[in-house]
Amino acid sequence: MDVSIIIVAWNVRDFVNNCLKSVFRETTGIEFEIIYVDNGSEDGSIEMVKNEFPEVKIIENIENLGFIKANNQGINIARGRYVLLLNSDTIILDNAIAKTVNFADKYPEAAVVGCKVLNPDRSLQRSCFMYPSIQNIFLSATYLYKIFPKSRFFGREEMTWWDFNDVREVETVKGCFSLVRMEAIKQVGLMDELYFVYGDDIDWCYRFSKSGWKVMFTPDPKIIHFGGQTTKITASKFQHQLFGSVLIFVKKHHSYPTFLTHRFLSSLFFFIRVPYWFIIGFIQKKERRNAFQVLGSYMAAGFYAITDWTNLLMNKNLVRNKLR
């Protein structure tokens, strides 16, 4: 078996359907299996997969166990030389999976390989990033990377200066399409389930790198990624989770002073945006309700970051028990 394709989903039936169709339509020349892990969907996703894609293996969770734990469930039964973590809101283009497998075979030192990710309009979606750092979160909080996108310094976190048109070693690749070598997984271990959702890709790439493996990007394979389909359901919770996940990473891998600085800068990120949303809510009646909802969410997140950061997380009790 060349690759085990793992797709995790929660209440996004149509995206799962389109994703699976694209995998079967656009994957040739390799032997693959698909493992679909459903996180307690109530929209008929499981029934659709059973009826339309009977060859797909299904793991049915009765509740949402989180993106990370569900992927680990799939990895535990995978038979491939590689595991492909594939988001349900993606579309495979032009035999991208086989191309990525062939690329990985040429780079046996690579634990993780990412491909070129496109938005639905075929514009570039940035899919490689640097690890969280004090520099990077400061640039993100102040939007300096948007003011100077071509600068290698100001655009460092999201690599905004790069056109993603060449092969290179990177620090992390976006988890919407991550081909991971099973040999490396057996050495380093599964994804850390402390993250629940977000941060897993950064943490895993970091652990692979620390163990001597490389993380690679190749521009030839391409996919479309819609992005944020599951997180639209409860957007504010997932935004809080995103920042909380970064803090988990820093807490695990950096010093306590660095962790405290990250908490302060996370709070800064939210608080400096509060005046903007207050003005929008005050002067635009049509946007007032949404603006004040965002404002409230930002104020709460900023407060949590400097008081009890675990309140940002969906699985705060687990994190409190493991990291405190």
Check whether 302 has a pLDDT greater than 70.
yes
Q: What is the pLDDT of residues 162-185, one digit of tens each?
A: 999 999 999 999 889 999 999 999
Query: Residue 140's pLDDT is what?
Result: 82
Return mean pLDDT, the chain. 92
**Tokens (6 digits) for 146:** 């948007």
Cα separation, 279 vs 275, in Å, equals: 6
Q: Which of 109, 103, 83, 76 is nearest to 3 (CA)?
A: 83
Query: Residue 197's pLDDT is what?
Result: 81
What share of the chain in percent tops pLDDT 70?
A: 98
Q: What is the pLDDT of residues 97-130, one digit of tens each?
A: 999 999 999 999 999 999 999 999 999 999 999 9
CATH classification code of 3-127+164-225? 3.90.550.10
Taking a C-beta distance cutoff of 8 angstroms, is the pair 110, 12 a contact? Answer: no
Query: Residue 251's pLDDT is what?
Result: 94
Q: CA torsion sign, 190 to 195 to 196 to 197?
A: negative
Query: Residue 229's pLDDT is what?
Result: 55
The domain spans of the chain are: 3-127+164-225, 235-323
Q: What is the pLDDT of residues 188-204, one digit of tens each?
A: 999 999 988 888 899 99
